[in-house]
Amino acid sequence: MITAAQMRAARALLGIDQRQLAELSGVSLPTIQRMEASDGTVRGVVDTLMKVIDAFDGAGVELIGENAPSQGQGRGVRLKAPRAAAAGLAS
């Protein structure tokens, strides 16, 4: 549904911190922190996840699922599978 990396990237696009995301979504700050600290796909109560996704959507950020086409318009960034050379940069 949503990954921790997507959450961090979406916040960066909006220029907001975790506290501001908590306020926008109506989700507690510790929950936002836990979600962003998770490994890979964020797990949790569906209602909570939807609040975060809806907050990003309302603020103008489209979260694109794996292998899903973008529904929005405008500029953006999409993470793709790294090539061998690029994988070394992450280390």
Q: pLDDT tens, position by position, for the chain (91 residues)?
A: 789 999 999 999 999 999 999 999 999 999 999 999 998 899 889 999 999 999 999 999 998 888 788 877 777 777 777 776 555 665 5
Sorted by where each starts, the structural domains of the chain and their CATH numbers stand as 4-59 (1.10.260.40)
Helix axes 4-14, 46-59, angle to 10 degrees: 30
Q: Specify the long-range contacts of residues 26-34, CB closer than 8 Å, at least 24 apart.
A: 26/51, 26/55, 27/51, 27/52, 32/7
pTM reported for the whole predicted model: 0.81
Q: Which has the closest alpha carbon to 1: 59, 56, 30, 40?
A: 40
Q: What are the φ/ψ torsions at residue 3 (nearest 5 degrees)? A: -105, 160
